[in-house]
Amino acid sequence: MGGINVIELEIVADHESASARVAGCIVEQVRREPASVLGLATGGTPERTYELLVEKVRAGHLSFSQATTFNLDEYVGLQPAHPQSYHAYMRSRLFGEADFDSKRTHLPDGTADDLAKAGEQYEALIADAGGIDLQLLGLGANGHIGFNEPGATEDSRTRVVDLTEETIAANARFFEARDDVPRRALTMGIATILEAREIVLIATGESKAEAVERAVRGPVASQMPASFLQQHPNVTFVLDEAAASLLGSRA
């Protein structure tokens, strides 16, 4: 197990402020290095961040034309055209709204005949791109990052995972019925995430407060996957006051 580092905390008033701060981190990275390799997340939390980035591009203040992207995960069994696939999420919220080169945007292939091989190929693509410069993460209420659910190991790589009932319930709001929610996903592993040169995690809302507190203050343990981020030398948690509410005066 690697050494323990202090996670940098940026605590702001609300979700809008957190989204603006995270968008600013991505803008700074791409302006500094136009050919950056970005790791991207999906879900409700980063939506506003992506809206702000699209606004920058449309205003002529930012270009992603030279950037390469790798998303954290994709559901197993959903075709890229499915409206709830993460391929569709990224197209509608970012890739199709800004000046990305479609050949440089990547998501795991959850429809592959050989999912294990698809995971290995995804790892090879990341390596061929030179690794991820800046990885954006969200945080599940159970501490998952990507779809690395409790029990994920530090050495895990892109692979198929079974989603917990808690995660399935949380994602049900995006589907017509809970039974429609996929029960498996292809996700980057903990080791893959930790190889990024810089990591920015955004968490907002009271429902994330316990996971934030355990990830930042608790022991590094597989039952709290986000706690592995304590071992990375360059991690920032951008939190609103609600998500940071259990950190106390030590934050």
pLDDT value, residue 2: 56
3-state SS, residue 75:
strand
Domains of the chain from N-terminus onward? 8-244 (3.40.50.1360)
SS3 112: coil
| Nearest C-alpha neighbor of 167 from the set 191, 151, 190 | 151
Catalytically annotated residues: 73, 142, 144, 149
pLDDT for the residue numbered 1: 46
Residue type, 178: R
pLDDT at 250: 45
For 239, other C-beta atoms within 10 Å of its C-beta total 27
pLDDT under 70: residue ranges of the chain: 1-3, 249-251
* Phi–psi pair at 240, nearest 5 degrees: -85, 170
Residue 248 is predicted with a pLDDT of 80
- For the chain, the straight-line distance linking the first and the last C-alpha, in angstroms and rounded, comes to 25
What residues does 236 pair with on adjacent strands? 8, 200
CB 163 within 8 A of CB 182: yes
Query: Does an H or E element contain 26, and which?
Result: helix 15-32
| 245-251 LR contacts (CB < 8 Å, sep 24+) | 245/206, 245/209, 246/209, 246/210, 246/212, 246/213, 247/9, 247/11, 247/212, 247/213, 247/216, 247/217, 250/217, 251/9, 251/11
User: Residue 184 in 3-state DSSP?
Assistant: strand
